Amino acid sequence: MNQKKYVLIVLPFCFLFMASLAPAGVQGEGRSAAHLSPSVSQGKSQVSDPSKQLESLIVDVNGERRRADPASGIEVVVGDLLTIVDAYLVDKSQTVKTVDLIGFRSRVSKNSNDDRGRVIDTGRNLSSNRSLDKHGRKYRIEASGPEGLNGTVVLTMHDPQLLSFDLEINGERQKFSSGDILKLNAADSVRVVDVRTNVRGNEDVKYLFSDSKYSKELRFLRGTRVFARIPIEWRAK
């Protein structure tokens, strides 16, 4: 499991918040995804030869190598970095001409529809209006050759979720969940010691304490996107 340093921004509170570099726990990802019928894949005809049908894809997600197939699909969390490494047919002696993630918007010029080797930021580089559900939750990855569609793998997107987190308050460790409210005194000494999310390795997960005119809260972010807010309620002395 990759260990990540959390970034803590402390705004002028009356009490001390101390940043922690403790490793975060991670919840495993799902194992299945809906299978896409070839008949809905951009009008391409499915190859009839069983040996030329797609057997699997090899992908890299945040530096972790994975294998996916048309039956299981791929599941990631929005913001994961996805790279399609290669595709294999049932007959390994034959090669796949192109692997195209439908809806991928490359920041550089694309000379072909082959997306192998391209680093895809799933939080920025995918167009929701080209997703299967039109809401940016499911995308198709098509493997094709001269004879037509070799096969399709469905990419399923999940939002980042905060599962739980631990705080050390005045030297005492306490566990909280995403629905809790932090009740603190102004003089309390507080630091975050552990965070658990559905993001594998907590890649690019940060937290900060926010103190505004309207609210005080502990925020959890992936990149610049806030995905969880924990209200802070001041207690009288």
Q: How confident is the model at residue 112 (pLDDT cuts 50, 70, 90)?
A: confident
Q: Looking at the structure, do residues 193 and 210 belong to the same domain, yes or no?
A: yes
Q: Looking at the structure, do residues 130 and 93 belong to the same domain, yes or no?
A: yes
Q: Looking at the structure, do residues 166 and 230 belong to the same domain, yes or no?
A: yes
Domain assignment present for 10: no
Mean pLDDT is lowest, of 19-33, 81-95, 96-110, 216-230, for: 19-33
Domain termination site, one of 129, 158, 187: 158
Q: Looking at the structure, do residues 60 and 166 belong to the same domain, yes or no?
A: no
Q: Looking at the structure, do residues 138 and 181 belong to the same domain, yes or no?
A: no
Output the CA angle 106-107-110, nearest 5 degrees: 50
Q: Looking at the structure, do residues 49 and 107 belong to the same domain, yes or no?
A: yes
Domain assignment present for 122: yes
Q: Looking at the structure, do residues 75 and 105 belong to the same domain, yes or no?
A: yes
Q: Looking at the structure, do residues 150 and 64 belong to the same domain, yes or no?
A: yes
Domain termination site, one of 158, 179, 214: 158
Domain assignment present for 8: no
Domain assignment present for 103: yes
Q: Looking at the structure, do residues 154 and 74 belong to the same domain, yes or no?
A: yes
Q: What is the pLDDT of residues 11-59, one digit of tens each?
A: 334 333 433 333 344 443 433 333 333 334 556 799 999 999 999 999 9
Domain termination site, one of 116, 137, 158: 158
Question: How many domains does the chain divide into?
Answer: 2
Q: Looking at the structure, do residues 137 and 180 belong to the same domain, yes or no?
A: no
Q: Looking at the structure, do residues 145 and 202 belong to the same domain, yes or no?
A: no
Range of the domain at 107: 38-158
pTM: 0.75
What's the mean pLDDT in 114-142?
95
Q: What is the pLDDT of residues 160-197, one digit of tens each?
A: 999 999 999 999 999 999 999 999 988 899 999 999 99
